[in-house]
């Protein structure tokens, strides 16, 4: 059995190598950047290290995080290797986007995402410091001002209008805010009114993003929150499908998000808005996991407890030998292998994965 698993792992890694090679070939063969820059806003699903500079327990700047990254060292990414936005940068012929708090050059984009953050300013306070979406937008304004001083206002406006802006936020507003015992939001809002509160807040934030100058905007849906190891572990003591209400909540939010983006495409006349359905993508991967080359679809590579989802991935916690066999790396986050698949669906996926078009089509490639 162990030999079979090792063979499957080897085949899967070979397949991933071929996928990467195909992606590189599919990108602009000139090697020139396809867009001027890539800007990232959101939470730990796209945080490439901003929380390294904050006082927070939501950090991943230690091994085994990063063990399969380009440098084989932890970077602050909440996975074993690369994130989906790192592969998106490859498609765009751009370097990996640096974290804003590292004070890098902003010429080809920057990442404002912060683990634990959400649409609401209060979200993630249980972890300590974080950068809420509203603050991330303020930082984006500062970046635009700096670029305007460097390149001039007209050139900077052109950079913003032609760049890609990727937004992935919302899951912490549920798991690490609304559903936390004693939460004032849980007391004051029912599920529908809380979702409406989040959509209203995101509506304002996307309008602000547009007013800053963003035109090509990709917004990720919620993933199936009830299918991640931490929630499976939390609710499996009740019944195996006890976390299914979280998937129902995710779908209810995603329906409202989809409707919001449809409205914004009408009201923001120059905007190209893409709905990146992480829910559909991850459900498909989970249901057909063996076809995608995985051996485990509900258990984390790193962790302890049921589904390895009860104890976080820490330096002395058991970790699997081959993360490519797992959909999930830790109690919340996908492995680098899964992030590669997510990026592929965003770049060239069908209408159920990227609506109304994928990024490759948006850019005319």
Query: What is d(CA 297, CA 290) in angstroms, rounded to the nearest whole number?
Result: 9
Catalytic-residue membership of 44: yes
- Determine if the peptide bond prior to 242 is cis (ω within 30°): no
Return the number of other C-beta atoms located less than 10 Å from residue 155's C-beta.
Answer: 13
Extended strands (E) in 43-163: 109-111
Catalytic-residue membership of 43: no
Query: Which residue is catalytic, options 47, 68, 173, 330?
Result: 330
Query: Which residue is catalytic, options 12, 44, 236, 337?
Result: 44
From the number of C-beta atoms within 10 Å of its C-beta (0-12, 13-18, 19+), residue 190 rates as exposed
Region label for 190, one of left (φ > 0), alpha (ψ between -120 and 50) or beta (otherwise): beta
Query: Which residue is catalytic, options 47, 277, 333, 344?
Result: 333
Q: Please write down the HEC assignment for all residues of 269-326.
A: CCCEEEEECHHHHHHHHHHCCCCCCCCEEEEECECECHHHCCECCCCCCCECCCHHHE
Looking at the annotation, which residues are catalytic?
Answer: 44, 330, 333
């Amino acid at each position: 059995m162990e030999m079979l698993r090792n063979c499957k792992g080897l085949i899967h890694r070979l397949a991933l190598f071929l996928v990467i090679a195909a992606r590189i070939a599919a990108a602009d063969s000139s090697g020139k950047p396809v867009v001027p820059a890539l800007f990232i806003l959101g939470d730990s699903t796209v945080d490439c290290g901003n929380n390294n500079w904050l006082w927070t327990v939501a950090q991943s700047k230690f091994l085994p995080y990063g063990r399969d990254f380009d440098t084989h060292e932890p970077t602050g990414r909440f996975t074993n290797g690369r994130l989906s936005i790192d592969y998106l940068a490859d498609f765009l012929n751009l370097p990996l986007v640096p974290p804003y708090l590292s004070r890098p050059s902003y010429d080809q984009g920057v990442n404002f995402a912060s683990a634990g953050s959400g649409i609401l300013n209060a979200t993630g306070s249980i972890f300590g410091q974080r950068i809420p979406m509203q603050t991330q937008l303020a930082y984006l304004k500062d970046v635009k001002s700096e670029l305007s001083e460097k390149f001039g206002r007209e050139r900077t406006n052109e950079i913003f209008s032609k760049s890609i802006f990727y937004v992935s936020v919302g899951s912490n507003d549920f798991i690490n805010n609304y559903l936390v015992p004693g939460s004032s939001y849980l007391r004051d809002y029912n599920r529908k009114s809380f979702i409406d509160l989040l959509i209203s807040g995101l509506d304002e934030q996307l309008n602000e993003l547009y007013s800053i100058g963003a035109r090509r905007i990709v917004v990720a849906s919620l993933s199936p929150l009830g299918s991640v190891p931490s929630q499976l572990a939390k609710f499996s003591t009740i019944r195996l499908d006890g976390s299914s209400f979280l998937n129902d909540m995710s779908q209810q939010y995603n329906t409202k998000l989809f409707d919001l983006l449809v409205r914004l495409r009408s009201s923001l006349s120059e905007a190209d808005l893409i709905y990146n359905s992480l829910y559909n993508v991850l459900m498909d991967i989970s249901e057909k996991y063996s076809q995608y080359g995985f051996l485990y679809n509900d258990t984390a590579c790193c962790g302890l407890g049921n589904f390895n989802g009860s104890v976080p991935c820490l330096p002395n916690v058991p970790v699997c030998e081959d993360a490519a066999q797992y959909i999930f790396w830790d109690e919340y986050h996908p492995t680098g292998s899964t992030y590669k698949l997510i990026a592929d669906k965003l770049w060239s996926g069908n209408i159920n994965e990227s609506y109304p078009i994928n990024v490759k089509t948006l850019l005319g490639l």
